[in-house]
Chains A and B, each alone.
Chain A
Amino acid sequence: MKGTTMNPADVEQGIDTKQGARTKRDARQTGVLIKDMKVSRGMRVFRVVNLAFLLVVVFLTVYPFLNIIAQSFSSEGFINAGQVNLFPMGFNTETYKLILADSTFWNNYGNTVLYTVVATAISMVLTTSFAYAIAKKDLKGRSVFIGIAVFTMFFNGGLIPNYVLISSLGMRDTLWAVVLPNAISVFNLLIMKSFFENMPRELEEAAAIDGLSQYGVLFKVVLPLSKAIVATMVLFYAVANWNSWFQAFLYLDNPELFPVTIYLRNMIAGVTTAGSAGGTAENVGQIAANIQSVTIVLTVIPILCVYPFVQKYFFSGVMLGSVKE
């Protein structure tokens, strides 16, 4: 591993030293021919440029987040003057206190947690059972079930028919309008299906011979062996539900039921509740900038906290889905 990890400094050092040292290092690196080192001058330039470019990408990716954090701690005067970029100006935590004291914010935050938990649970039950069934090659009508699911990826009735359907089912202004319409993600379904398909058949056959029922096989043999994929799917669904806003925006009218994304959305759209606290009419827009930043930071924190620990599961989930081509 050590031999293959190199930074530009190492490369430079390797070229400055004598020929002997160079070949010695080459010998440590399997798969690198001496010939490759001939182009090292151009390569060296390329590597530095490449590295610099990627560092710029990293900075540009992180910048908006840093900017929001800086704005959230800045006072309005400096935001108004367009002076806030990377660092807070005129340090101010009043807005944090204001938002954290807003009972609507906490109520909506609680709703987000509730919707995420309920929706993820429903999605997992439906996706797992659907995927397990269609992973069985001998299931009658299997291709029809798969076809129906895949068809919805590329074609649907559209916004209005869905809206009419949900409304006439009486789900408006209930939790169900948020958690049911997107309960099965076909993409996740297909990932899970290909995982189950790759599971050795003999395992299930052996369990069946030992007297386990169909459900016994699923719960006692298959699922315990599928912890990795189940964890990945839970994460996929949880993040999607945590971030979702449009279902709630369409179907919920009662502010008591809003998730926190709608709280934030209303703030961005200027129909803010907490924004009315303090401030004169002419600088409402700028005050909103500070309040928005605070709300964004508070909404993002949970995701930022778990992100470093769970991102590898997302990666493996996508891998599982892409292995079968």
Chain B
Amino acid sequence: MGFKYITLFINDPSFWQAFQNTITLGVLTLLFCFPMPIIFALMLNELRSQKFKKFVQTVAYLPHFMSVVIIAGMILQNFSMTGTVNQIANTVFGTTVNFTQDASWFRPMYISSEVWQTMGWGAILYLAALTRVDESLYEAARIDGANRWQQTWHVTLPAIRPTIITLLILNIGTFMAVGFEKILLIYNPLNYATSDVISTYLYRVGLESSNFSYAAAIGMFESVIGLTLILSANAISRRLAGTSLW
């Protein structure tokens, strides 16, 4: 027992790079992937045709049911030198980019695929909450002269606020674990500068270099931060919004 491994990682620049990447990807994920399902659910909710709504939902949920290995395969193919993204880049800008190997493109690639993968299924809980909004609230708002936008802002959003907050807390709780399996599948040494996160770093240290104790110390650190994040998010939300997980 001792703090040998803790001091080791505190002085390890690769760890701090991974730490920074984890935070950056985590923040970007929250920023882009969290609001999209809400917007998507609200847009679906405005559809008049139930059949079309069902159709859009059915299609949008599909990526959720795919193995992350398949998703990774699709990402690598679409962003490859001859893939669709480069076909478009070539047509529009006349150049191609090696997206999968260029460190500066890893984040856009990761985040856009994450949005693609999670937007549809993420909307499901919001749609459930939207069906439970009291119809008479809208009627009252209309009588008060509220237009559709005002109705959305003052009736719909407050009504689904508990769902939004609950999911936000849960998202913050998984902040540190950012898409470990997916990153492990799509990253490579050429883009470690932006793609290497704590969990992939400890995977390499622990299982590829068999440095178990060191990796376990990093893992412990990661778990403690994760737990702290969710506990504080929960406490803050209980105090400010009156909604909490427990």
**Whole-angstrom distance between the Cβ of B141 and the nearest chain A Cβ:** 11
Interface centre among B40, B59, B77 (most CB of A within 10 A): B77
Cβ contacts under 8 Å, A96 to chain B: none
Asked if A325 and B66 sit within 8 Å, CB to CB, the answer is no
Q: Does B7 contact A (CB under 8 A)?
A: no
Cβ contacts under 8 Å, A58 to chain B: 55-56, 59-60
Given contact pairs A246-B181, A250-B207, A264 touches B148 in the complex (Cβ within 8 A): no
Contact of B116 among A61, A83, A308 (CB under 8 A): A61
Asked if A322 and B65 sit within 8 Å, CB to CB, the answer is no
Cβ contacts under 8 Å, B72 to chain A: 265, 268
User: Once the chains are docked, how many angstroms separate the CA of A277 from the CA of B81?
Assistant: 23
Q: Does B74 contact A (CB under 8 A)?
A: yes
Nearest A residue (CB) for B70: A296
**Whole-angstrom distance between the Cβ of B39 and the nearest chain A Cβ:** 10
Q: Which of A123-131, A151-159, A211-219 lies at the interface?
A: A151-159
B188-246: which residues lie under 8 A (CB-CB) from chain A?
199, 202-203, 206-207, 212, 215-216, 219-220, 222-223, 226-227, 230, 246
Q: Does B76 contact A (CB under 8 A)?
A: yes
In this complex, the interface size class of chain B, counting residues with CB under 8 Å from chain A, is 35 or more
Q: Does B31 contact A (CB under 8 A)?
A: no
**Whole-angstrom distance between the Cβ of B113 and the nearest chain A Cβ:** 9
Asked if A82 and B90 sit within 8 Å, CB to CB, the answer is yes
Q: Which of A16-24, A28-36, A133-141 lies at the interface?
A: A28-36
Contact of B49 among A5, A150, A156, A161 (CB under 8 A): A5
Q: Does B63 contact A (CB under 8 A)?
A: yes
**Whole-angstrom distance between the Cβ of B72 and the nearest chain A Cβ:** 6
Contact of B62 among A81, A164, A307 (CB under 8 A): A307
Return the CB mask of B141-184 against A: 1 if under 8 Å, else 0: 01100011000000000000011001000000100000001000
Q: Does A244 contact B (CB under 8 A)?
A: yes
Asked if A35 and B142 sit within 8 Å, CB to CB, the answer is yes
The B interface, classified by DSSP as helix, strand, loop or mixed, is helix
Cβ contacts under 8 Å, B47 to chain A: 50-51, 54
User: Once the chains are docked, how many angstroms separate the CA of A302 from the CA of B119?
Assistant: 23
Q: Does B17 contact A (CB under 8 A)?
A: no
Nearest B residue (CB) for A54: B56
Cβ contacts under 8 Å, A154 to chain B: 173, 226-227, 230
**Whole-angstrom distance between the Cβ of A38 and the nearest chain B Cβ:** 9
Asked if B219 and A268 sit within 8 Å, CB to CB, the answer is no
Asked if A156 and B86 sit within 8 Å, CB to CB, the answer is no
Contact of A299 among B61, B67, B212 (CB under 8 A): B67
**Whole-angstrom distance between the Cβ of B199 and the nearest chain A Cβ:** 7
Asked if A39 and B148 sit within 8 Å, CB to CB, the answer is yes
User: Once the chains are docked, how many angstroms separate the CA of A157 from the CA of B220?
Assistant: 7
Q: Does B51 contact A (CB under 8 A)?
A: yes
Interface centre among B60, B69, B163, B220 (most CB of A within 10 A): B69
**Whole-angstrom distance between the Cβ of A11 and the nearest chain B Cβ:** 8
Q: Does A57 contact B (CB under 8 A)?
A: yes
User: Once the chains are docked, how many angstroms separate the CA of A308 from the CA of B54?
Assistant: 11
Return the CB mask of A243-254 against B: 1 if under 8 Å, else 0: 111100010000
Q: Can you report 8 A-B residue pairs in the complex whose CB atoms are below 8 A from each other?
A: A7-B52, A67-B78, A81-B82, A84-B82, A155-B226, A158-B222, A163-B206, A261-B70
Beyond A160-B202, A160-B212, A267-B73, 16 additional pairs, beta carbon < 8 A: A5-B51, A7-B49, A31-B135, A39-B147, A47-B46, A50-B43, A50-B47, A57-B119, A61-B120, A64-B116, A159-B199, A160-B207, A163-B207, A164-B212, A265-B69, A289-B77
- List chain B positions with a Cβ less than 8 A from chain A: 40, 43-44, 46-52, 55-56, 58-63, 65-70, 72-74, 76-78, 80-84, 86-87, 90, 116, 119-120, 124-125, 128-129, 135, 139, 142-143, 147-148, 162-163, 166, 173, 181, 185, 199, 202-203, 206-207, 212, 215-216, 219-220, 222-223, 226-227, 230, 246
